[in-house]
Structure 1
Amino acid sequence: MAQSQVLNWSENGQDITTLDSSLATDVISSTMISNSEEGLYRIGAHNKILPGIATKTVVSEDKKTYTFTLRQNAKWSNGDPVTAQDFVYSWRRTVNPKTASQYAYIYSGIKNADQISAGKMNPDTLGIKADGKYKLTVTLSKPMEYFKLLMGFDVFFPQDQKVVQEYGKDYGTTSSKMVYDGPFKMTGWKGTNSTWALVRNDHYWDKKHVYLQRINDQDVKSTTTGFNLFQSGKLDMAVLSGQQVKNEKNNSKLVIRKTSRLNYLEFNQKKVPALANTKLRQAMSLTLDRKELVNNVLGDGSVVPHGFVTNGLATDPTTGKDFATENAVAQSTAYDNAKAKKLWAEGLKEVGKKSLTLTLTHDDTDQMKALSEYVQGQLTKELPGLKITSIELPYKNRLARETAGNFELVISAWQADFSDPISDLGIMTTDNSYNFGKWTNSAYDADVKTANNTTNQTTRWNAMSDAEKTIGTEEGDAPLSQNVIAQMLNPKLKGLVYNTAGLDYDFKSAYMAK
C-alpha cells in the first residue's frame, strides 16, 4: 500500500441534502450515510450479503421471523454501544408519519408498517423488538425474498436515540450534528457547502480492515473542470461527459460503469391537469429519438432504456431473461413524429385546448443540460402549439422543488435501491411519496400490490410484468436514458466496491496502492 492513504473523490453536480437516514432520498446523501454508518448487513460486490452489525441470523420456517444476534463490540463514534434498541428506535421513527420519511413505504411487509405509516396504528406496534441489548427480532406480515438486501440499505440503519433527541430538528443537517457507527466519519459538511470529507472511524468494530485514512470529496459541476483537476493530480476520480468520453476512449484510466439509474421525463398531472391526458404524454414521448439522444447528444455510453425498469437489474427466475427486455413496450421508447402529431392534436381536442405553455425543470449538470436542451427542442419543434421554458437549478434545489410538486415537466432520475423490479415499479403507485407527477392507474396499483403480497414467485413476476407494460403503454412517465458513469480513475485505487443498485460506492476496503 502507498504511505499516504488519502483519496480525492468528486461528485458531478450533486450535493448532500441530509445525513439523517430517515430523511435521505438522493444517491449522494445515501452514499455518504452508507460509508459512515452501518446496518445489520453490508452489501458487497455483486450484491453479496456480508456481516455488518449482525453476526448471526436465524430465519423461521415460514420466513416471517428473523432473529439477529448483534456484535457486542460495535460502537458509535461517541463511544456509545450500538444496541438492538438503536434499530427499534430508528425503524419506529422512520415509519412514524410525524417524521415524514419519503422512504417509509419501503417498510411495507414488516408487520403493521403500512397501518403505522397511514396513521392508523402506533409506531410501537411495528414488527421489531429488542430482546436484551444484542438480540433483535423482526416480524414480517409476509415472506419477502429481498428482505436481506433491504437490511443493507441505509433507511434501515440504527440511530442513537440520545443523539437524535439532543439535536432535534438539526439532527443530520451538518456533519457535526451526527454520530457514526460505520467505517468512516463525516467531517466538514456544514449543510450547504460543496466540500466535505470522510475520515476513518477509530470506534468502528472492523477498523483494522479500513485502509483509507481520509476521503476528500467535492461537488464539481463542470466535467471540464473535473477532468482538468484529474489531469493535474488534484482528483483521483472525475466524471466525464459526451465528447470527453470519445476523446479518452483509448485511455486506460477511463472506466465505464453500468448503473440502474434511469433519467426520465415526469409530467405533473396535479399542477397541469391537461397532462393527465394519455395521448398528450404519448405524443411528447414519441417525438424523442432515444438513439440520437444517447449516441449523439449525450455520447457518454448511456443506453436506450426498454421501459421504467432498467436493463440488467433483474432476471426472470422462470425464463432466465432480463426483466426489462422481456417486458418492453415498444411504444414507450419509440420515435414516431407522425404518430406524435396525430396524438397531440387528438389530446388537445380532448382537453379543450389549442396550445400548451409549460416549464421544464432540470439540474445544472452538463448531462442534464444536454438532456433538457434536446427534450425542449424536440417537443417544441414537433408539437404545434407547445411552448416550453427551461428552469435550470442546482441538484439540491431541483430535488426540493420536485418533492414539493412545484414543477410542470421535470427531468428526474431514479436508481433502484436493490436488485429487484419492485424497487422501480413501487415508486409509481398512486400513493407513493416518490410519485411526484401524481400519475395514477388502478390496474397498475393492483399489480404492484399483488407483487408485494403474494408468496408465489410466478404470480409475483407476472404481476410485475403487467405493471411494467401498463406504465409503458400509458406513458406514466417518459424514459429518456439509462445512465452509465464514465469516469477517469486513478489506477492506484484498489478494493473499491461498486454495485448498480443501492449503494454505488463502498469505500470500506478501498486503498491506494504504491
Structure 2
Amino acid sequence: MNKSWQSLTGYLRVGLVAALATGALITGASAEVTYRRGNAGDPKTLDQHQTSIDVEANILRDLYDGLLAYDSRGKVTPAAAASWSISPDGKVYTFKLRENGKWSNGDPVKASDFVFSFRRMLDPQTAARYAALHYPIKNARAVNRGELPPAELGVKAIDDKTLEITLEQPTPYFLELLTHQTALPLHQASVEKYGKDFVRPGNLVSNGAFKLSEFVPSDHIKVVKNPNYFDAKDVKVDTVMFYPTEDSAAAVRRFMAGELDTNYQFPIDQLNFLKQKLGSQVRTAPYLSIEYYATNVQKPPFNDPRVRHALSLAIDRDFLAEKTWGGAAVPAYRMTPPGLQNYTPPEIAAAGETQLDREDKAKELIKAAGYGPGQKPLKIEIRYNTNDSNKNTATAVADMWKSVLGAEVTLLNSDIKSHYAYLQNKGDFDIARAGWVGDYADPQNFLFLGLSDNAVSNYSRYKNPDYDALLKKSDETGDQAARMKILSDAEAMFMKDEPVIPLIYRSSLHLVSPKVSGYEDNVQNVHRSRYISIAP
C-alpha cells in the first residue's frame, strides 16, 4: 500500500470516528454506566425469606421495592406504596400501591403479591429466618407456630392496589419493619413455577430498580436496570456488579487500583493509613450496630454465669475500640447502642469501673467457678467469620483471657456464609463472634435477640421465661414511656445473665470513589444503587 493511500484511509478513519462521536452527541446516546460495588461477602441466598446478613440485604434492596424503603439518607420513604393511612387505634394500616408499579416482566404489582409474600414468610413450612420480626402482625405468631393457617394472617388485599395490614397492638416501629428485606413482595407465578429455583437468573422476577442478570458464586452478581421500574428515568446506573470482597485487604488494593467504585468494609488497622492516602474517600460513620461474642450457655463451663461474667470483665474494651478498631468504635457494655430516642438504658456497673478493677473481679469469679491456674483448665475456642477486623479482635481477646484468666484459647475461622449457617443450625461452639445491625431504631430490635423462641439469631440458646415475659409485655404496652421502662428492665435482666458479651459499637466502614455521587452516610447503613451516579 502506497503512502498516499495510507494517508487517505487514515483520514477516513479519523473522519468516521469523529462522525460517530458527533452522531452520539446529536442523538443523545451515552455509554453504559456500570457501578462496581464491593459487598464484603457472598450471599447464601437471594430468597428474601431465608436471608439473615447485610450483604444479602444490600442486593435484595436493589432487586425489590417493599411497601416502604430507606432513601439515600436512611429515612423511610414510599416505595411500592404511594401512600398509607393508619386507623385511630393504631392497629390497621392501609397502603395504596402505585398505579404504575410493575414487575420486571411487565406484570402489574398487586396487593396480592404482598399477601402471598407475607403468608409464605410466616408459613412454618418456609422456616423463614426472620419470621419473628413480623409478629406484630395479627395472628403472625400463631401462623408461624402452625396454630392457624396462613390465610388467617392479618394481611389482605382489598383490591389490586389496596393492601390492609392489621396488627395485634399498636407498634410504633411498624413502618420501619416494612423496609426489611423479609417484607419484600414476591411474584407468585414465578415462585410457584420454579419453587426454590425462583431466585436463579432468568427465573427471578423483581419489582425494584434492577433485575438479576448473573450470579456466579464467589465471583460476582450482576444486576441490570429494570426498564419497567416506576422511577426508571431517574436511575442513573445501567449495571451493578456486586463483588464478594470478603478479603478486605485485597478489596482495598482493588479499590486503589480503580477496579471498585465503592467497597463495604476495610481492615480497621489500615484506617489511619487509608485516611492519609485516600482522604475523603474513606468513610466512617456511626450506625445502629454492635459487635458481640455469643457464649454457648448450654455447654460447660459457659453455662455458669460466673464464667461468663469473668470472660466479659477480662476484656479491655477501650483497647479494642482505640487500638484494634483504630478509633472507629466505642466500648459496649450492653446490647442497645447509643442514640435510641426516648430510651434510657440500664446502668451497667462495669462501665464505670477501671479496667484493673474489672480484671480483679474477673479473677475472683473464675476462681470461685473452679477454673484457672491451680484448678480446672479453662479451654476456650473462639469462632469467627473470616475478616481482618474479626481476626484482630479475636486475637486481642484471646491474649486478654490468657493473661488475666490463664485460659487456653484457640481460634477457628470460616467464611461468613458457613459461620452463620453453623450458628443458626445449632452447631457446637464455645464462643462465637456475632454482629447485629438494627433493622429499625428501637431497643426491641436488639433485645429480641435473646428471646427463647428466636430460633435464628439467639445463638447463645439463652432461655429465661421472665425475660420473654418482659419483651411480650413491652409489645402489649401502648404507652411509650411505660414501654421503654419495661425494655430497660428487660435489658438489665439480660445483662445480669450475660449470655452474650458486648464488645464495641462500631462505625460503618466504606471506601467511596470521588466519581460516585449519592452514596450518603446514614445510621441505617443502607446504600441503594438506585440513588448512585457515576461520573465518567
Structure of higher CA gyration radius = 2
Identify the match of residue 239 of structure 2 among 211, 214, 218: 214
What is the match of residue 295 of structure 2? 267
8 A contact 1:69–1:136 mirrored in 2: yes
Partners of 2:121 and 2:102 in 1: CA distance: 22
Structure 1 segments of 4+ aligned residues over 6 angstroms from their partners:
none
CA deviation vs aligned residue, 1:138-172 (integer Å, no higher than 9, x gap): 11111111111112221111111111122213333
Q: SS state of the match for residue 412, structure 1?
A: strand
8 A contact 2:70–2:526 mirrored in 1: no
Establish whether residue 494 from structure 1 lines up as the match of residue 517 from structure 2: yes
Partners of 1:116 and 1:498 in 2: CA distance: 38
What is the match of residue 148 of structure 2? 121
Identify the match of residue 246 of structure 1 among 238, 248, 272: 272
What is the match of residue 382 of structure 1? 404
Establish whether residue 11 from structure 1 lines up as the match of residue 39 from structure 2: yes
Identify the match of residue 348 of structure 2 among 294, 316, 329: 329
- Code of the aligned partner of 1:408: D
CA deviation vs aligned residue, 1:47-105 (integer Å, no higher than 9, x gap): 43321111221221111111111123211112222111111111011111111112110
- The percent identity for this pair of structures is 27
Identify the match of residue 357 of structure 1 among 361, 364, 379: 379
Distance 1:53 1:283, change over 3 A: same
What TM-score comes out, normalization by structure 2 length?
Answer: 0.88
Q: SS state of the match for residue 55, structure 1?
A: strand
8 A contact 1:183–1:200 mirrored in 2: yes
Partners of 2:144 and 2:51 in 1: CA distance: 17
Q: CA deviation at 1:500?
A: 2.4
Unaligned runs of 5+ residues in structure 1 are 317-321
Q: CA deviation at 1:476?
A: 2.1
Q: CA deviation at 1:306?
A: 4.0
What TM-score comes out, normalization by structure 1 length?
Answer: 0.92
Q: CA deviation at 1:497?
A: 4.4
Establish whether residue 197 from structure 1 lines up as the match of residue 218 from structure 2: no
Q: CA deviation at 1:226?
A: 1.9
- Code of the aligned partner of 2:218: N
8 A contact 1:97–1:117 mirrored in 2: yes
CA deviation vs aligned residue, 1:100-129 (integer Å, no higher than 9, x gap): 112110111211111111211111100011
- Code of the aligned partner of 1:129: K
8 A contact 2:297–2:499 mirrored in 1: no
The number of equivalent residue pairs is: 498
- Code of the aligned partner of 2:504: S
Identify the match of residue 438 of structure 1 among 461, 467, 478: 461
8 A contact 1:286–1:339 mirrored in 2: yes
Partners of 2:322 and 2:529 in 1: CA distance: 32
Unaligned runs of 5+ residues in structure 2 are 1-27
- Code of the aligned partner of 2:212: M
What is the match of residue 485 of structure 1? 508
Establish whether residue 459 from structure 1 lines up as the match of residue 487 from structure 2: no
Partners of 2:450 and 2:522 in 1: CA distance: 23
Partners of 1:4 and 1:249 in 2: CA distance: 31
What is the match of residue 412 of structure 1? 434
Q: CA deviation at 1:197?
A: 2.1
What is the match of residue 512 of structure 1? 534
Distance 1:64 1:450, change over 3 A: same
Q: SS state of the match for residue 133, structure 2?
A: helix
Partners of 1:194 and 1:290 in 2: CA distance: 36
Q: CA deviation at 1:328?
A: 4.0
8 A contact 2:97–2:110 mirrored in 1: yes
What is the match of residue 319 of structure 1? none
